[in-house]
Amino acid sequence: MMNKYVFIISAIFLAILSRFLPHPPNFTPIAAIALLSSKGFNNQWWAYLIPIISLFISDLIIGLHGTIPFVYMSFVLIAYLGSRVKKIGLGTVLFSSMVFFLVSNFGVWLLHYPSNLSGLVQCYTLALPFFLNTILGDLVYSVLLIYPFYALQKRNLLYS
């Protein structure tokens, strides 16, 4: 048997470390961390704090940027989404990818593109290749983080 919190914190720590490995842009574990946190912690504040703390620690090393409020807000929304669904499945993960894409690129548009419909369309169009990486990263990391959590829970191998 394993303590649920030890499993979650270990998985999150390993996922944070993966941000420092070479990877395609937007192929990150943070959405999976937000979703796992939303299911793993009894105190829902941790569901919101864990992805933000994970991002902040790694952003201090990787680099800060102007769109941070939008990126962080997208993961708060993803954690909220995770807390509202009964079980995290493929639809939840894909919807999380869409939330990140829409919210983070809205910030990119506000800060770096003309403030008109043409600028908005251009911003989202140029972001489409990154959206594929987001979807793939969210799917891979969700399988690596969330599936084991549910499998261990189902077999009653996790305790609080």
In whole angstroms, give the CA distance from residue 141 to residue 87.
Answer: 16
Q: What is the CATH number of the domain that holds 111?
A: 1.10.1760
What is the full DSSP assignment across 121-148?
Answer: HHHHHHHHHHHHHHHHHHHHHHHHHHHH
Pull the structure tokens for residue 38.
């939303």
pLDDT per residue over 23-79, tens digit each? 999 999 999 999 999 998 888 898 899 999 989 988 998 999 999 999 999 999 999
CB 48, CB 33: distance < 8 Å: no
Q: What is the residue-averaged pLDDT of the chain?
A: 94
pTM of this structure: 0.92
CB atoms within 10 A of CB 28: 23
Indicate whether 124 pLDDT > 90: yes
pLDDT in tens, 9-27: 888 888 788 888 899 999 9
**Closest to 12 (Cα-Cα) out of 149, 136, 105:** 149
Number of domains in the chain: 1
Q: Residue 74's closest CA among 131, 112, 122?
A: 131
Q: Both tokens of residue 31?
A: 């959405």
